[in-house]
Amino acid sequence: MREKLKNAKRIVIKIGTSSLVYPNGNINLSGIDELSFVLADLNNQGKEVVLVSSGAIGVGMNQLGLTARPATIPEQQAVAALGQATLMNIYSQRLASYSKKAGQVLLTRDVIEYPESRKNVTNTLEQLLKMGIIPIINENDTVSVDELDHLTKFGDNDQLSAIVSQIIQADLLIMLSDINGFYSDNPNTNPQASLHTHIAQITPEIMHQAGGKGSMFGTGGMSSKLKAAKRILDCQSAMVLANGKQPKIIFDILDGQQIGTLFMEG
């Protein structure tokens, strides 16, 4: 079944904050460089790659020397504005060293849900791919709000990456996190937890096995990854959840090796 991944032409890669920012709050430059190398090489192979990157607030916190995530929405949005600019600068520099160009796309949920705007976003992404530019997507944290009468947040970048995969009809979503895949229980607290290598359907039992929130710098937990996987399965596509500590693992995933958890029908 994983042999089919070798034929994936259009690939969305989602990288979590924990893979971009060290636990001490400093930026993981080697990880970003390795990820940029992988994106560039996949592009050289003729594959169409889109990166959904978290990390704006985590990088912004690093730039400001903050040790705790700001409590208020305006503070978080200001930190995200600084962090997003810094993060894109790093990506652009690293990709340029491999003779590649990056294009920033910041999205809010209402843009995706409004048909005309959704069409425009889709056209922009298609054009970037056509021009050989690597789209780097993040939620527009500086303006996103979550209110009863005006929902603009995706909730987290797990959902955003699945929605992007849908709208551009990607063959595969590779979700890189700080865990090796989806386990029957939390492997950090239960040594008996077993790794699910393949999941064909998101059942209530599977959802029950998901834990809570992720790292201090991120917002997504395992349940959000399962919700994203359900969205991918519903549109008959595929998703792999794997550890993003060493981004070159993407090459092994696309080579059909049994890495992480594969979400695919069949």
**Is 221 labelled a binding residue?**
yes
**Is 30 labelled a binding residue?**
no
What is the per-residue pLDDT across 90-103, written as a single tens digit (0 to 9) for each?
999 999 999 999 99
**pLDDT at 108 (0 to 100):** 85
**pLDDT at 155 (0 to 100):** 63
**Is 14 labelled a binding residue?**
yes
What is the per-residue pLDDT across 204-250, written as a single tens digit (0 to 9) for each?
899 888 864 444 334 447 888 999 999 999 999 999 999 999 999 99
**pLDDT at 148 (0 to 100):** 38
Domain that holds residue 143: 2-263
The token pair that represents 60 in the structure block: 């912004």
**pLDDT at 149 (0 to 100):** 45
Q: What DSSP designation does 14 have?
A: E
**pLDDT at 216 (0 to 100):** 37
**pLDDT at 144 (0 to 100):** 64
Write out residues in the chain with pLDDT < 50, as ranges: 147-151, 212-220
The token pair that represents 175 in the structure block: 């979700």
**Is 130 labelled a binding residue?**
no
* Spatial distance between the Cα atoms of 174 and 149, rounded to a whole number of angstroms: 33
**pLDDT at 221 (0 to 100):** 74
**Is 54 labelled a binding residue?**
yes
- The number of folded domains in the chain is 1
**pLDDT at 215 (0 to 100):** 40
pTM: predicted TM-score of the whole model, two decimal places: 0.92
Sequential DSSP letters for 180-232: SSEESS-TTT-TT--EESEESS--HHHHHT---B--SS---BHHHHHHHHHHH
Sequential DSSP letters for 84-120: HHHHHHHHHHHHHHTT--EEEEEE-HHHHHSHHHHHH
**Is 222 labelled a binding residue?**
yes
CATH number of the domain within which 237 lies: 3.40.1160.10
**Is 86 labelled a binding residue?**
no
Amino acid code (one letter) for 121: V
**Order of all β-strands in the sheet with 134-139:** 102-107, 134-139, 48-53, 10-15, 172-177, 238-243, 261-263, 198-199
Burial status of residue 192 (CB atoms within 10 A of its CB: 0-12, 13-18, 19 or more): exposed
**Is 186 labelled a binding residue?**
no
